[in-house]
Structures are given as structure tokens and as C-alpha cells.
Amino acid sequence: MKKVIALSVVFFLSCSLVSGSGFLIYEHGAAAMGMGGAFVSIANDPTAIFYNPAGIAWLSGTQVNVGGTFVFPAGWVNLPNWPDPAYQKVYQLDQTFFPPHFYLTQSLGSRVTVGLGFFAPYGLGTSWPVNYPLRYISTDTSLQTMFINPAIAIKISDHLSLGAGLSYISATLSQSLVQHVVIPDVWEGDIPATMHKAKGDTVGFNAGLLFKKNKFSAGFNWRSGFTVDFSGPLTLDTSRVPSPVQPYIPSSANVALSFKYPNIFGLGFSYQATTRLLLSIEGQYFTWSTYENYVIKIDYPNGSSEEQLVEQNFKDSIILRAGAQYMVKENLALRAGIIYDQAPQPVETMDPSLPDASRVAFTIGFGYTKDRFEVALGYQYEIFSDRTSPNRNIYPDGMGEGKYHTRGQLLGFTFGYKF
């Protein structure tokens, strides 16, 4: 009993469900998105609660931003060593994700502002055909997080502000695969297995600095690392297993594990090159080396339990961003940006649950203001590097080795209003 479940869990949870690039959604404000996310040194609207909380110190009155980002991933894997040509190229199933965002800021005098943000910076998932060769690693993966982030910022001089916040973080994790079960001299076959909405919550912190003088500004932002302790049921669908065999195969267990998320440090500079043109650059550093391994605890229906160590060996990574904004008119802005995102995931732990790779992204956007109302739109196109993975060597002679090709499109919008 324990061996059947343990094999399922290892494949479930050895998959890289928390990778910084693949599952980090950084687009939580369309103005920032249009400039390639190079916003830490600008932070001039309520989305600064996410990008740099020090920025809200410069906002007056009551301001609200609300919006979201449509995410359209696409990809396929080539399996050149697979004997059946029909499965030598397998496409991901179509999916659309929509992480929302909401921000509210309120100034308390001329130097202090408080704010509240809701956003989902870690999420997305992958979905593959249920009968493709790598179904024993993953057929569906889904990770969702929600941050509730109150913040406060203080303008300590005419040129410098400080900001800080506290986040309550709620997360759910789901994954499906097919478990191949062999009971010698009794039965052999495939059994669908699912871990559905394992849940966990925790807290995190963020802080920032923003310096402005003449045409120059500089910003620093930190989002703390945190650990989510997930717990949830693992079920095996034994309905298609012959009745005499079912007693040999347990239908459920409970799984507990902890995922470590990285610290994120961002440093950026912007310059008002002309009265119409604003330029911005930013670099971010992710401490993904903390994600070396984790322990899975499996509790069985008969009261016994066991623990398994899974290695991941992630590396620290960087993201580089550059953006520009050009004011066509006093109330109409055009934006563009470029991003280089380095994958922290080693190729040895890369698989279909998250076929991550370094990427380059291009962005465009615009903003329109009328009286107290503002709307911003942003579009982002991502090109991932092609990357070959052994797919955890689940087949002999490299039959499961695959080359992954991934693209992504994002469309974001934010509506703002100043009371």
C-alpha cells in the first residue's frame, strides 16, 4: 500500500511548482506592465503597494486602482526518441488565467499615506493530454496564491520616502498525473491520481525606498521570502481496477509539505529625458538557492506515515527590465519595455509540470487620463529559450527526453479613480 502511494507522491511533488520565472506573475498594474515592469523608481500610482510601497507617500487624497491580467500560455514538447511518431510532438492544452489586482490608498496629511492591496503574484499552471507519454509525471498542475497587503509610507524629506507592508498569503496547490501500478502476478495498469487543492497560508513582508530629485529618481524594493506549509488529500481513482485487485491499492492518503519562496530585491533608476520622455531601468535578484530540497510527509489510512526528501537545487536568478514612456498629449501616454528573465530551475528537475526556461519579453501599453479617471492597458509577449530535459529519466535509454518550446502572451488593464 505504502509503496504505491509513495511513488505517486514523489512524482507529484518533485515537480517544480514554485519556480520563480514560470509561476511568478509580476504584472499587477498595467502602467508598469507597459514599461516592462521597470517601475520601482517610478511607483506613482496605487500599484506601488506591489512594486514599491514607498511610492504611495507621494499620492494625495483617496485613490483606487482595480484591474487584472489575462495570461495566455502556449507550448509543446518534442520527444524525438519516443517510438510512436504520433507522440513525438505534444502540445499543451489551451488555458487562460486571470490574476486580478486591487489597490486603495489614503493620504493622512502631507507626509503619510496608508494603503491596501490584493494581488496574486504566484500562480498559473500547465495542462497536457491525459494519454501522452509523460503522463506519469504530470497531466495537470495548478498553483494559486492571494496576497492581502496593507502598507504605510512616510515622506521623510522633500526627496526621500520609506514604505513597508505586511502580507497575509493564502495558497492552493493541485496536480494530477497517471500512476502506473504493478502488483506481481496479480495486475498491472494505469491509475489516475490527483492531489486536489492542498492548502496553506503564511505571512510575508515588503519594504521600499524612493528618492526623487530634479529629473532623476531611484527606487529599491524588497519582498521577503516565505514558506507555505501545504496539506491536502491525495486520491487514486481505482474505479477501473478489477474488484479482486482493489484491496491491494489504497484510494487515498494525506500529504503535507513545505515550499520555500525567495526573497526578491529590486533596484531601479529613472530619468526624465525630456518633458515628454521618461526612461527607466531595473534589476531584480531572487534568492532561489534557498529552494534546495523539501520533505514530503505522507499519512496513510492505516495510521502509519513516512517522510521523503526531494532535491531541487535551484540557483539564484536575476531579471533585467527597461522601459520608456512618451507623453503624446498631457493626458495620453505611450509605453514600451523589454525584459530578460533568467530561469532558476536546473534542467535536471525541469519537467512538464513547469517547463521553465530563461526568456525575453517585449511590452507595449498606453494610459489615458480624463479628470479623475484613468485607464491603462499593457500587452506582453514572451519568448522562452528552447530547453531539453531528461524528464526525470522515467523511461530507459532516454526515450522520455524532451525539448520544450514555450511562448506566452499577457494582456493587462487597470482602471484608476482619484476621489
Q: Residue-wise pLDDT tens for the chain (419 aa)?
A: 444 444 444 444 444 444 445 567 889 999 999 999 999 999 999 999 999 999 999 999 999 999 999 999 999 999 999 999 999 999 999 999 999 999 999 999 999 999 999 999 887 788 999 999 999 988 998 888 999 999 999 999 999 999 999 999 999 988 888 988 888 888 888 989 888 889 999 999 999 999 999 999 999 999 999 999 999 998 888 888 888 888 878 788 888 888 888 999 999 999 999 999 999 999 999 998 887 777 778 888 878 787 877 777 889 999 999 999 999 999 999 999 999 999 998 888 888 887 889 999 999 999 999 999 999 999 999 999 999 999 988 899 899 999 999 999 999 999 999 99
Q: Which of 222, 202, 166 is nearest to 51 (CA)?
A: 222
CATH code, residues 2-418: 2.40.160.60
Which of 13, 48, 140 lies closest to 414, judged by CA?
Answer: 48
Spell out the alpha helix ranges (H) of 14-102. 20-23, 30-34, 48-51
Residue with C-alpha cell 530585491? 265
- Taking the domains of the chain in order of start, what are their residue ranges? 2-418
C-alpha–C-alpha distance, residues 158 and 177, integer Å: 57
Q: How many CB atoms lie within 10 A of CB 274?
A: 10
What is the rounded CA–CA span in Å between residue 263 and residue 183? Answer: 45
* pTM as predicted: 0.90
Cβ atoms of 283 and 317 closer than 8 Å: no
* Euclidean distance between CA atoms 105 and 165, whole angstroms: 13
